[in-house]
Structure 1
Amino acid sequence: MFMVVGVILLAIGLVLAFMGIGAEHHAAGAEGAHHAAGAGASAEHHGSPIWLKRLIISLWHSNVYFTGIAVVGTVFVAINYVAYAGWSIVVKRIAEAFSAWLLPGAIIMLVVFGVGLINHDIFHWTMPGIMDPKSENYDAVIAGKSGFLNLPFYVIRMVVYLAIWWFFSERLRKLSLEEDQMGGTGFWDKSINVSALFLVLFAVTSSMAAWDWVMSIDTHWFSTMFGWYVFASWWVSGIAAITLCAIFLKQAGYLPFLTSNHLHDLGKLMFGFSIFWTYVWFSQFMLIWYANLPEESVYFNQRLGGFDGKYTWLFFFNLIINFAFPFLVLMTRDAKRQMIMLKLATIAILIGHWLDFYLMIMPGTLKGDSGFIIEIGVALIFLGAWLTLMTRRLSQASLLPVNHPFVDESIHHTT
């Protein structure tokens, strides 16, 4: 259903964009956009036609979002292993199933990046001659980053990130299934060691992926907090997705051992990390605003008033839907134990952080020419495909890891 609706919206959006409806360029208020993109951005509509450019960037945007949620499932499992946590075993298989998207997501990531290279639609630093002092496209600031931002090294890094995430996800999944078959504590011990190594590698690769996939879109701009910011957005979205899936499975009769105590803990994680995301958001914004340095403040200038104020409403709505709403809805103990309240919070968080990534990506790529019909259509197609793969993996094993050493603790968990 999601995919069908998504295809319809995508078709409508592409037709409207192809006809030029709603595609007027927002040049006013974009002071600093040229500075942020680099000297080669003087041609306002360089690259692919706007309908194709929106499609390419929408594919990148949604895939970064859903791939992040997919790997967070593995991170959730790994954290609970190294913490010797027992409460989460009831929802462990849900988190494991998320990684079914990692391999397709990796392929899509590489393909979309390659397509985006044709007309340099996603990353300005890939423009020909931008690092060549003899070229008219030369940009000294970007050229100074050539040791990091060069195609061979970039592609190698991308493959390494995705390969690490996929390998450890599959390894933990395999150990979990073998534990179901043979029992004993040996698989649990191995899983702890695998999880510890994975978390160390993920701490590095997730931050670097955030720099590569999102921050390097605004090539002149940088933030030392950006890795944490993207991780916080991925993490709280992943917890929300685990919670929402658990609720739907419980209501369908598939998780008899899931109780309000488990939901309470998931609700506390969403509540706490919504605050953490806001802390990182505010710290990043406050420091840049206070310093008022042109190379840093341009990022927020574009999102607060640039392009005729196109993104201003979204800038403030981002705080409302990702902080104020979940904070107020999940503030009380009872709210964290009620499915209806958790549904409201999880859906708001998932939509809100998709919009958060929209706000990170669109101003630096499409400037004032972004929209929502194509973007929502692509997101719904991704959602349908993601759910199809996730539920297929979910159906391939028992929803309760029957031989996990802490399964009884999880069943009788109380808060």
Structure 2
Amino acid sequence: MATLTHHESATAEHLVVTDGARKTFFTIIGAGVLVLILGLVASFMGWGEEHHAAAGHAAAAAHGGAHHEGNPIWVKRVLVSLWHSNLYLVGISVVGTVFLAIQYVAYAGWSVLVKRIASAFSAWLLPGAVIMLIVFFVGKADIFHWTHEGIMDKGSPNYDHIIAGKSGFLNLPFYLIRMVVYLAIWWFFSERLRKISLAEDLNGGTAYFHKSITVAALFLVLFAVTSSMAAWDWVMSVDTHWYSTMFGWYVFASWWVSGIAGITLTAIFLKQNGYLKFLSAGHFHDLGKLMFGFSIFWTYVWFAQFMLIWYANLPEEAVYFNQRLGGYNGHYTGLFFFNLIINFVFPFLALMTRDAKRQMIMLKIVCIAILLGHWSDFYLMLMPATLQGNSGFLIEIGIFAIFAGSFMLLMTRRLAAASLVPIHHPFLDESVHHTT
């Protein structure tokens, strides 16, 4: 019986991004622009804002300071939405590198055929970093209460002693240094792992593989620290009075399961378009297990955080969930429960069986649900503290669609720049013949 040799089992495959695919991405961007314009018109006309006006002005008590009356509400919504969607996509981008690094340090063979997909996700890191810095400089007062003038100055009418007590950590120079360091570390290691892998394609040998393991191990140590701190800085500090010791894990869990869903969805589209011919039901089964398991993990962290705060019932902790469950005239109550259904109940039930994890149509539906669900999860993390009862969905969805279309353009361009199959990876044959 003939056996397949290494070169017979898998050869280089190059993605060709067709005009039709580009048209689809630009259509998504164009649709986002139209929805954004519609949302801006609705905001200018004041449709639906009367119901939430009192709730918006009542935010002073919840946040321990005066309601910030700076930019008009439509400007605030644009700035917060830019921060929200970009933050979500930056997290998904770096999760691609985290996934790649974990596969290296675990000496995993099954995932070799999807490594280039994970690597391509980092295409958004550099533009995302630039957008994040610009939005922070332009809109920090509308997003972060602790940046308001005089809030840490005892002689100011805006003085807040709780926020002033955090001034050693929450001050502009230190905050900006941290932001740049986090993003620089993530971008540097993403590029480094990619360059080593591309050099391996050209030259072969196992030296590149062992070098990747060393780089991946160092990155994972640094990411473990920087991801938690980024969650405190970029998300938790919008609720400056409130804190949770589990919040770093919570944000990471949301990013991580979204990243796995993005990798799986990309693999499905490539497979359905004739690429990655050795990608089998076994690979999709394993990706489905990751989505299934980490949807449960996200729910575990969510419940552990919620249960402890509910049980202790301390006002300074409970305010976070009070705002989201019934605050601002119930503005977020429906989304609060929808968040649990789409991010836990639906993936749990849909992916419970073995067959479901091996069917591309089922995986595609669950991937899309998870990606949209965790975007709404970040919406719930950010909007009540920044826009109080004045948030909506048209501006927010429009901006997300623009970013999502741009992300897909950059990611597919990076995918097309190298072989989809890392042809000299030492575990390639294991991945080609992977079964579960």
TM band (smaller chain): over 0.9
Question: SS at 1:371's partner residue?
Answer: coil
Q: Indicate conservation of the 8 Å contact 2:56/2:387, yes or no.
A: no
Q: In structure 2, what is the Cα distance between the partners aligned to 1:35 and 1:408?
A: 61
Q: In structure 1, what is the Cα distance between the partners aligned to 2:406 and 2:168?
A: 37
Q: In structure 2, what is the Cα distance between the partners aligned to 1:56 and 1:317?
A: 25
Give the partner amino acid of 2:260. Answer: I
Q: Deviations over 1:12-60 (max 9, x none)?
A: 111111121222252567898434422233x5xx121111110000000
Q: Deviations over 1:337-392 (max 9, x none)?
A: 00011011101000000000000000000000000000000000000000000000
Give the partner amino acid of 2:222. Answer: L
Q: In structure 1, what is the Cα distance between the partners aligned to 2:41 and 2:256?
A: 35
Give the partner amino acid of 1:350. Answer: L
Of 39, 42, 45, which aligns to 1:16? 42
Structure-2 residue corresponding to 1:293 = 314
Question: SS at 2:410's partner residue?
Answer: helix
Q: In structure 1, what is the Cα distance between the partners aligned to 2:331 and 2:182?
A: 34
Structure-1 residue corresponding to 2:139 = 116
Q: Indicate conservation of the 8 Å contact 1:77/1:96, yes or no.
A: yes
Of 275, 279, 282, which aligns to 1:254? 275
Identical columns (%): 74
Change (3 A) 1:297 1:29: farther
The question of 1:333 aligning with 2:354 is answered yes
Q: Indicate conservation of the 8 Å contact 1:93/1:400, yes or no.
A: yes
The question of 1:311 aligning with 2:311 is answered no
Q: Indicate conservation of the 8 Å contact 1:29/1:309, yes or no.
A: no
Give the partner amino acid of 1:96. Answer: S
Of 174, 188, 192, which aligns to 2:209? 188
Q: Indicate conservation of the 8 Å contact 1:28/1:308, yes or no.
A: no
The offset of 1:220, in angstroms, is 0.2
Q: In structure 1, what is the Cα distance between the partners aligned to 2:41 and 2:413?
A: 34
Question: SS at 1:404's partner residue?
Answer: coil
Structure-2 residue corresponding to 1:63 = 86
The question of 1:2 aligning with 2:28 is answered yes
Q: In structure 2, what is the Cα distance between the partners aligned to 1:351 and 1:157?
A: 29
Give the partner amino acid of 1:79. Answer: I
Q: Indicate conservation of the 8 Å contact 1:40/1:139, yes or no.
A: no
Change (3 A) 1:160 1:25: farther
Change (3 A) 1:215 1:25: farther
Give the partner amino acid of 1:228. Answer: W
The question of 1:414 aligning with 2:435 is answered yes
Q: Indicate conservation of the 8 Å contact 2:323/2:384, yes or no.
A: yes
Structure-2 residue corresponding to 1:50 = 73
Structure-2 residue corresponding to 1:272 = 293
Give the partner amino acid of 1:90. Answer: L
Q: Deviations over 1:293-315 (max 9, x none)?
A: 11110000000000000100000
What TM-score results when the alignment is normalised by the length of structure 2? 0.93
Structure-2 residue corresponding to 1:39 = 65
Change (3 A) 1:109 1:29: closer
Q: Indicate conservation of the 8 Å contact 1:130/1:139, yes or no.
A: yes
Q: In structure 2, what is the Cα distance between the partners aligned to 1:23 and 1:370?
A: 9
What TM-score results when the alignment is normalised by the length of structure 1? 0.97
Of 384, 399, 405, which aligns to 1:378? 399
Give the partner amino acid of 2:44. Answer: F
Q: Any residues of structure 2 matched to 1:158-197 within 5 Å, and which?
A: 158-197=179-218
Q: Indicate conservation of the 8 Å contact 2:53/2:390, yes or no.
A: no
Q: In structure 2, what is the Cα distance between the partners aligned to 1:107 and 1:121?
A: 19
Of 52, 61, 65, which aligns to 1:26? 52
Give the partner amino acid of 2:48. Answer: G
Give the partner amino acid of 1:38. Answer: G
Q: Indicate conservation of the 8 Å contact 1:36/1:218, yes or no.
A: no
Question: SS at 2:388's partner residue?
Answer: coil
The offset of 1:411, in angstroms, is 0.3
Give the partner amino acid of 2:341. Answer: I
Of 102, 112, 131, which aligns to 2:125? 102
Structure-2 residue corresponding to 1:220 = 241
Q: Deviations over 1:102-151 (max 9, x none)?
A: 0000000000000113xx10000000100011100000000000000000
Q: In structure 2, what is the Cα distance between the partners aligned to 1:159 and 1:29?
A: 35
RMSD: 1.2
Question: Structure 2: where are the runs of 5+ without partners?
Answer: 1-26
Give the partner amino acid of 1:57. Answer: V
Q: Deviations over 1:75-102 (max 9, x none)?
A: 0000000000000001000000000000
Q: Indicate conservation of the 8 Å contact 2:236/2:243, yes or no.
A: yes
The offset of 1:414, in angstroms, is 1.0
Give the partner amino acid of 1:76. Answer: F
Give every structure 1 segment of 4 or more consecutive aligned residues whose post-TM-superposition deviation is greater than 3 Å. 27-33
Q: In structure 1, what is the Cα distance between the partners aligned to 2:424 and 2:213?
A: 16
Give the partner amino acid of 1:296. Answer: E
Structure-1 residue corresponding to 2:156 = 135
Structure-1 residue corresponding to 2:253 = 232
Change (3 A) 1:273 1:190: same
Q: In structure 1, what is the Cα distance between the partners aligned to 2:292 and 2:113?
A: 20
Give the partner amino acid of 2:83. Answer: W
Q: In structure 1, what is the Cα distance between the partners aligned to 2:58 and 2:427?
A: 55
Structure-2 residue corresponding to 1:87 = 110
